[in-house]
Amino acid sequence: MSKNKRSRNANLHLYRNPLPIEFINTSKSDFNYTLINNIKEGISPLFFCSLLFRSAKEYFKLFFHKAPSPVIIDLTFEEIFENKYLIIASKDFSQRDLLWYGGYFGTGNLSRSQPTWFLRKKRDLDENQKRRFPEDLTAQRRLKKQIIKEQQVEYEKTFKKFVSNEQEIDQKEIVKRYESLKALKKDRSSIVFASTSKADEDVEELQDQEEYVLTLEEYLYLKLFVARNSMYLKYVKNRLMLKPDMPLNKLIHEDSLKKTLVRFVVYSALRNKGYIVREGVKFGADYLVYDKKGPVFQHSDYSIVIRDFTGEDKDIMSAEDILSRLRIIGTANKKMITMDVECNLDEVQWEKIKEQWKTLQDNKSLDNLFLSLLSKFSIDQLLIERWIPERSR
């Protein structure tokens, strides 16, 4: 294998591109303390005094420094549909963009991925900005191509009549039409849209009609991992706080607790390994996995299908189901990975947990119980590919 190909394959590895979440950097005082502990021989009094002075300076700075106020995300909670949807986040642009661009959490209900409906609608009304965007340039090129095609047909008809002398046509007119057609073919993007007089008024009166949707797994990950474990979203330098602090047993019914845990244990495992995880229902899967920059820059390479082995009725997929999923996922140029989830708790233990879940009222106790249950699950993953005779001979 060539060096360039090895390098290219290494860059495609799932662990090479971490999620845009970063940990707190170690302070200088901690670094100096580590240096002192690692020194086996004696140190000079001057070096010791300098380290002591810098450590004291850091201590007083932290003691008198006012803690930065946390970034607060205000959420309005709606009905949970089929134990997966929906939590509707605030329409506030800064909060919405923070969650999306900071870690690809949530989606717009009027957009394919990120919440861009308002910007696209405003752009459509603002004639001065239309040609700055790729999709508008594509529309212009298609319109230009159609105009060229129509003028080509007219030119050929006129030229045919001129050659056959069916109609008296001036040669200068033929040359003029030819030069016009040649100029159109040379520049396929010079289409100017006619502006309307109400465009500016419409832009000013336009209101954002798009809601911002978080899935249940995304909300749980933000609440239990990002905010709880002092991890920061990209571009955020202080703590994240979700309000209101909804008790988990108000969002998750005790009868749906196991099903929620099965989905979340897979979601959190993928996120913690550095994957970017999105919903995959339209591709016949549970999740889509992005291993590079995210859904804005690339298509997903993997589709995740969860198989639940936690109960007596094990989720064993039939051959027809596997083949149909492989066909759909393969058509979208993705690979299928099954995640088999097992649990070491029996039904009697689950009944006790469900009763405890229903009676707890303290938010912190509910969060701790939910996190402790994650350790009771195990995951086995399997890559499934469709056998193609033409490629396997």
* 143 and 229 within one domain: no
* 359 and 233 within one domain: no
Please state, rounded to an integer, the average pLDDT across all residues of the chain: 75
* 263 and 368 within one domain: yes
Residue identified by tokens 């605030």 is 90
* 287 and 231 within one domain: no
In the set 57, 160, 243, 299, the catalytic residue is 299
Number of domains in the chain: 4
In the set 267, 275, 290, 302, the catalytic residue is 290
* 167 and 51 within one domain: no
Q: pTM higher than 0.75 for the full model? A: no
Does residue 385 fall inside a structural domain? yes
CA distance 199 to 203: 6
Question: pLDDT band at 9, cuts 50/70/90?
Answer: very low
Question: pLDDT band at 32, cuts 50/70/90?
Answer: very low
Does residue 113 fall inside a structural domain? no
User: Does the active-site annotation cover 65?
Assistant: no
Question: pLDDT band at 304, cuts 50/70/90?
Answer: very high
Q: What is the pLDDT of residue 19?
A: 41
Helices 257-272/347-359 angle, 10° precision: 90
* 103 and 71 within one domain: yes
* 393 and 293 within one domain: yes
Does residue 14 fall inside a structural domain? no
* 337 and 272 within one domain: yes
Does residue 11 fall inside a structural domain? no
Q: Is the pLDDT of residue 364 over 60?
A: yes
Does residue 4 fall inside a structural domain? no
Q: Is the pLDDT of residue 329 over 80?
A: yes
* 191 and 43 within one domain: no
Query: Which run of H or E residues covers position 184?
Result: helix 171-186
In contact, 95 and 235? CB cutoff 8 Å: no
Instruction: Work out the end-to-end distance of the chain between its first and last CA atoms, rounded to an integer number of angstroms.
Output: 22
* 317 and 274 within one domain: yes
* 228 and 97 within one domain: yes
Does residue 118 fall inside a structural domain? no
pLDDT tens per residue across span 122-181: 776 665 554 455 555 667 777 888 888 888 888 888 888 777 777 777 777 777 888 888
More confident residue, 86 or 292: 86
User: Does the active-site annotation cover 299?
Assistant: yes
* 164 and 96 within one domain: no
Percent of the chain scoring above 90 in pLDDT = 15
* Residue type present at position 122: K
Percent of the chain scoring above 70 in pLDDT = 71
Does residue 13 fall inside a structural domain? no
In the set 121, 223, 258, 334, the catalytic residue is 334
Q: What is the pLDDT of residue 365?
A: 92
pLDDT tens per residue across span 238-275: 778 888 888 898 889 899 899 999 999 999 999 888 88
Does residue 298 fall inside a structural domain? yes
Q: What is the pLDDT of residue 136?
A: 59
Quote the domain boundaries for residue 373: 254-393
- Distances, alpha carbon 52 to alpha carbons 45, 58, 62, 88, 111, in Å: 10, 10, 15, 51, 56
User: Does the active-site annotation cover 334?
Assistant: yes
Q: What is the pLDDT of residue 30?
A: 47
Question: pLDDT band at 316, cuts 50/70/90?
Answer: confident
* Residue 343 belongs to domain with CATH number: 3.40.1350.10
Per the DSSP assignment, residues forming a β-bridge with 340 are 307, 380
